[in-house]
Amino acid sequence: MMVCEYKPGLEGIPAAQSSISYVDGQKGILEYRGIRIEELAEKSTFLETAYLLIWGELPSKEELEAFEHEVRYHRRIKYRIRDMMKCFPESGHPMDALQASAAALGLFYSLRDLHNPAYIRDSVVRLIATIPTMVAAFQLMRKGNDPVRPRDDLDYSANFLYMLNEQEPDPLAARIFDICLILHVEHTMNASTFSARVTASTLTDPYAVVASAVGTLGGPLHGGANEEVIQMLEDIGSVDNVRPYIQDCLERKAKIMGFGHRVYKVKDPRATILQKLVEQLFEKFGHDKFYDIAQEMERVVEEKLASKGIYPNVDFYSGLVYRKMGIPTDLFTPIFAIARVAGWLAHWKEQLAENRIFRPTQIYNGRHEIPYAPIEQR
Ligand code: CMC
């Protein structure tokens, strides 16, 4: 058997062959199925991009309409899921609520027919359609309110913002939110996608695949960083405090949230697009001093850490967009999940097409031949 060098975090080790997305970390390029992210952010919608990722090609007008129609009519959640969510502690993190609810959905669809395209399509539609409803329902129920029913006359993002805020969103805000979903939907072999593929490789159901990926996305080194960015901006408080804050992080060898990436060694192209969206939002709805702090951070971090390839990543500016829309900080990562579920499902489908169960090896560095010590001798 070939012996490979051990790489902590599997850095640089291919875990799959995939044609879903591509990153050039040196040039700052991200493509979904070969199409540049900048073009999709300008011209596409979240559901069209989700279709592209999952089925490999942009849909025709009829295909897109059919997909949008199916998603629209599967948005409602079962009352048993809603009642289960009502019992969750309101102090719990919405990512945990989402993980539990996504897994619970599998209880209702236990027939596993992984080789049937109709089963795959139904599962894709159901998960993409219901995850936003679950996120919005938990948000309202933890405030003591009843969840709001989805509105069939609103498109995907506008409907989510409506269910969350109990009022129809401004069209610019809804479009910007939809672009945010496009930017977060897929990103090659990141931790949660890897998790999804490992779970998929056991041939379990797609609800378990998504639940395991949601659990992985929640950590602060992955999707949870967007929450921590806002906390950091609040702690910094003013532009004058930026330089001493960064200096202190560097001295303590603490990571500055929203900066750095395993793959990008230049500014993340998604951060560049998000920054423009922040500016558009602020132009229409008023400025936020946090943006000045963020810009100063970008300048100082570049000055100090550009030599290490540390630049803003996707999480640095996304929080500012959501904050301006009045979305609570602990929903930022569930919103990341609303988008990323389509990417995970594209990987689920790809994994099934040429499946081999993940079973890596390890380098054992423990002891051998140790005699069992009776409890009274320990
Ligand atoms: N602030 C300061 N220094 C950093 C940072 C940072 N945010 N990120 C990396 N470095 C330094 C690190 O200290 C190390 O320096 P040295 O070589 O002198 O020891 C060097 O850069 C390499 O760091 P690493 O931790 O080995 O890099 P990694 O590829 O394992 O980690 C990362 C990538 C994203 C986990 C890391 O950059 C990080 O923790 N960033 C902050 C958290 C964050 O923003 N996460 C969101 C990631 S993007 C979206 C997503 O994937 O979900």
What is the architecture, at CATH level 2, of domain 225-324?
Answer: Orthogonal Bundle (1.10)
| 188 CB neighbour count, 10 Å cutoff | 18
Considering the chain, what percentage of its residues have pLDDT values greater than 70?
A: 99
Q: What pLDDT, on a 0 to 100 scale, did the predictor assign at position 2?
A: 63
CATH number for the domain running over 17-219+342-353: 1.10.580.10
Query: Residue 224 pLDDT more than 90?
Result: no
Q: What pLDDT, on a 0 to 100 scale, did the predictor assign at position 168?
A: 97
State whether the beta carbon of 258 lies less than 6 angstroms from ligand 1: yes
Q: Is 312 helix (H, G, I), strand (E, B) or coil?
A: strand
For 216-241, what is the mean pLDDT? Answer: 93
- Please report which confidence band the pLDDT of residue 63 belongs to, taking 50, 70 and 90 as the band edges: very high
State whether the beta carbon of 260 lies less than 6 angstroms from ligand 1: yes
Q: Are 17-219+342-353 and 225-324 in the same CATH fold? A: no
CA 224 / ligand 1 centre spacing (Å): 14
CA 344 / ligand 1 centre spacing (Å): 23
Residues 6+ positions from 105 with CB-CB distance below 8 Å: 81, 126, 127, 130, 207
CA 299 / ligand 1 centre spacing (Å): 17
CA 228 / ligand 1 centre spacing (Å): 14
Query: Residue 209 pLDDT more than 70?
Result: yes
Task: Scan for tokens 């939110």, then name that residue.
Answer: 177
Substitution candidate for ligand 1 out of 221, 303, 311 with most atoms within 8 A of CB: 221
Nearest to 138 by CA among 99, 208, 88, 72: 88
Q: Give the amino acid at 347.
A: H
- Please report which confidence band the pLDDT of residue 194 belongs to, taking 50, 70 and 90 as the band edges: very high
Q: DSSP letters along 248-283, please? A: HHHHHTPPPTTB--SS-SS--HHHHHHHHHHHHHHH
Q: What pLDDT, on a 0 to 100 scale, did the predictor assign at position 225?
A: 87
Give the ligand 1 atom nearest the CA of 308.
Answer: 21
For 147-158, what is the mean pLDDT? Answer: 96
Residues 6+ positions from 252 with CB-CB distance below 8 Å: none
Query: Residue 111 pLDDT more than 90?
Result: no
Q: How far is CA 194 from CA 94, 122, 131, 219, in A?
A: 22, 23, 20, 14
Residues 6+ positions from 288 with CB-CB distance below 8 Å: 282, 320, 323, 324
Give the ligand 1 atom nearest the CA of 222.
Answer: 52
Q: What pLDDT, on a 0 to 100 scale, did the predictor assign at position 245?
A: 97
| Contact status, residue 348 vs residue 196, Cβ threshold 8 Å | yes
Compute the Cα dihedral for 239, 242, 244, 245 and give only its sign.
Answer: positive
CA 297 / ligand 1 centre spacing (Å): 16
Nearest to 141 by CA among 92, 191, 208: 92
Query: Residue 342 pLDDT more than 80?
Result: yes
State whether the beta carbon of 190 lies less than 6 angstroms from ligand 1: yes
Give the ligand 1 atom nearest the CA of 191.
Answer: 51
Helix (H), strand (E) at residue 339: helix 332-353
When the pLDDT of each residue in the chain is averaged and rounded to a whole number, the result is 96
For 168-176, what is the mean pLDDT? Answer: 97
Q: What pLDDT, on a 0 to 100 scale, did the predictor assign at position 4?
A: 75
Q: How far is CA 266 from CA 11, 122, 259, 279, in A?
A: 18, 39, 10, 21
Give the ligand 1 atom nearest the CA of 250.
Answer: 2
Q: What pLDDT, on a 0 to 100 scale, did the predictor assign at position 5?
A: 86
Q: How far is CA 40 from CA 23, 34, 44, 53, 305, in A?
A: 15, 11, 5, 12, 30
State whether the beta carbon of 306 lies less than 6 angstroms from ligand 1: no
CA 254 / ligand 1 centre spacing (Å): 10
Crossing angle between the packed helical segments 117-142 and 332-353, to the nearest 10 degrees: 170
Substitution candidate for ligand 1 out of 21, 248, 255 with most atoms within 8 A of CB: 255
State whether the beta carbon of 261 lies less than 6 angstroms from ligand 1: yes
pLDDT tens-digit readout, 351-375: 999 999 999 999 999 999 999 999 9
pLDDT tens-digit readout, 43-58: 999 999 999 999 999 9
State whether the beta carbon of 222 lies less than 6 angstroms from ligand 1: yes
Query: In angstroms, rounded to a whole number, what is the distance separating the alpha carbons of residues 192 and 359?
Result: 17
pTM for this structure?
A: 0.95
Task: Scan for tokens 């919005």, then name that residue.
Answer: 136
State whether the beta carbon of 221 lies less than 6 angstroms from ligand 1: yes
Token pair listed for 178: 């939809």
For 289-310, what is the mean pLDDT? Answer: 96
Q: Where are the domains of the chain?
A: 17-219+342-353, 225-324
Active site residue 187: no
Query: Residue 299 pLDDT more than 90?
Result: yes
Query: In angstroms, rounded to a whole number, what is the distance separating the alpha carbons of residues 59 and 69?
Result: 14
Query: In angstroms, rounded to a whole number, what is the distance separating the alpha carbons of residues 274 and 272?
Result: 6
Give the ligand 1 atom nearest the CA of 313.
Answer: 48
Q: What pLDDT, on a 0 to 100 scale, did the predictor assign at position 1?
A: 59
Active site residue 315: yes
More confidently predicted of 110 and 189: 189
| Contact status, residue 323 vs residue 274, Cβ threshold 8 Å | no
Give the ligand 1 atom nearest the CA of 187.
Answer: 51
State whether the beta carbon of 308 lies less than 6 angstroms from ligand 1: yes
279-286 long-range contacts, Cβ below 8 Å, gap at least 24?
280/172, 280/176, 281/172, 281/173, 281/176, 281/321, 281/324, 281/325, 282/324, 284/170, 284/172, 285/170, 285/173, 285/324
State whether the beta carbon of 262 lies less than 6 angstroms from ligand 1: yes
Phi, psi values for residue 114, rounded to 5°: -65, -15
pLDDT tens-digit readout, 1-28: 566 789 999 999 999 999 999 999 999 9
Catalytic residue among 178, 205, 268, 315: 315
Q: DSSP letters along 119-141, please? A: HHHHHHHHHHHHHHHHHHHHHHH
Count H helices and E strands in the chain, helices first.
16, 3
